[in-house]
Amino acid sequence: QQQVKQSPQSLIVQKGGISIINCAYENTAFDYFPWYQQFPGKGPALLIAIRPDVSEKKEGRFTISFNKSAKQFSLHIMDSQPGDSATYFCAPRVGSARQLTFGSGTQLTVLP
Amino acid sequence: GAVVSQHPSWVICKSGTSVKIECRSLDFQATTMFWYRQFPKQSLMLMATSNEGSKATYEQGVEKDKFLINHASLTLSTLTVTSAHPEDSSFYICSARDPLVVEQFFGPGTRLTVL
């Protein structure tokens, strides 16, 4: 059973554009919804995360939108920059001690 | 932010040898550490979860006798790949859970190449 489905697999946007990555999940027990950013040859780093009691969270150019009824959450990157070119993973989790469930990843390329 | 280190960052070894990878939480005590494997252009696959002072819990399909995990202290976990073969070549990443902030922090990864 694929618990987390991430799309698109790859995304190319122009500098200054909006990048949108989506994550659909099946496990309604998930209670923490993070997005991680990974550069080649590096470990993932937490970018932004949301709890299910809010529908949106914004940190700088990064926004998470959460739709509990649709079991989906998305990452929006405003004013995308070439330095944002990386692979992004959604990785929801059940409880604080449990492991993350990684999506398949989205390779974002921002053209200068 | 919390820092997790891994050593070595890359290693090349001959088939049949064993390789040890260290994962350290530098500025917090990690009660739980996780080990992942990542193949090129793929997602992270959880291999095992280790809690300090107890045996690791391995995911289905991961050979516990091949991938030995030791979490002997609150700041150090080690992964030993025993009798490594070319198919074990991969990017190994650890993460450590900071119980005070309930967040996992990832190490920079270790690139293992088995010849």
| Residue pLDDT, tens place only, A32-51 | 999 999 999 999 999 999 99
Peptide bond into B8 cis (omega under 30): yes
DSSP string, B22-62: EEEESSS--SEEEEEEE-TTS-EEEEEEEETTS--EEPTT-
Least confident of A1-15, A17-31, A68-82: A1-15
Which pLDDT belongs to residue B102?
Answer: 72
The reported pLDDT for the residue numbered B22 is 97
With beta carbons less than 8 A apart as the criterion, state whether A35 and A88 touch.
yes
Reference B56, options B91, B80, B83, B28; nearest CA is B80
What tens digit of pLDDT does each residue of A86-102 get? 999 999 998 766 789 99
Interface check A88 vs B, CB under 8 A: no
CB contact under 8 A, A43 and B93: yes
Q: Who has greater pLDDT, B30 or A18?
A: A18
What count of other Cβ atoms lies within 10 Å of the Cβ of residue B18? 12
Residues in B touching A107 (Cβ below 8 Å): 41
Q: Residue B100's pLDDT is what?
A: 83
Higher pLDDT, A16 or B1: A16
- Contact of A51 with chain B, judged by CB distance below 8 Å, is answered with no
pLDDT digits (tens, 9 = 90+) for B44-62: 999 999 988 888 999 999 9
Q: Is A112 within 8 Å of A102 (Cβ atoms)?
A: no
Is the CB of B41 inside 8 Å of chain A's CB atoms?
yes
d(CA A46, CA A33): 11
Task: Give me the pLDDT at residue B15, please.
Answer: 97
Among the partner residues B43, B93, B99, nearest to A105 by beta-carbon distance: B43
CA-CA distances (angstroms) from residue B41 to A107, B24, B57, B81?
A: 9, 26, 26, 22
| A84 phi, psi to nearest 5 deg | -85, -10
Question: Which whole number is the average pLDDT over B74-88?
Answer: 95
Question: Which comes out higher in pLDDT, residue B17 or B100?
Answer: B17
- Residue in B49, B99, B109 closest to A43 by CB: B109
Residue with tokens 């990386």: A86
pLDDT of residue A10 exceeding 90: yes
Please give the structure tokens belonging to residue B27. 């500025």
A2 pLDDT more than 70 = no
* Euclidean distance between CA atoms B112 and B89, whole angstroms: 5
Q: Does the pLDDT of residue B21 top 80, yes or no?
A: yes
Distance, in Å, from the CA atom of B29 to the CA atom of A33, rounded to the nearest integer, reads 24
What mean pLDDT comes out for the span A6-12? 97
Contact residues, chain B, for A36 at CB < 8 Å: 106
Name which of B72, B100, B112, B104 is nearest B4 in CA terms: B104
**Mean pLDDT to the nearest integer, B2-6:** 94
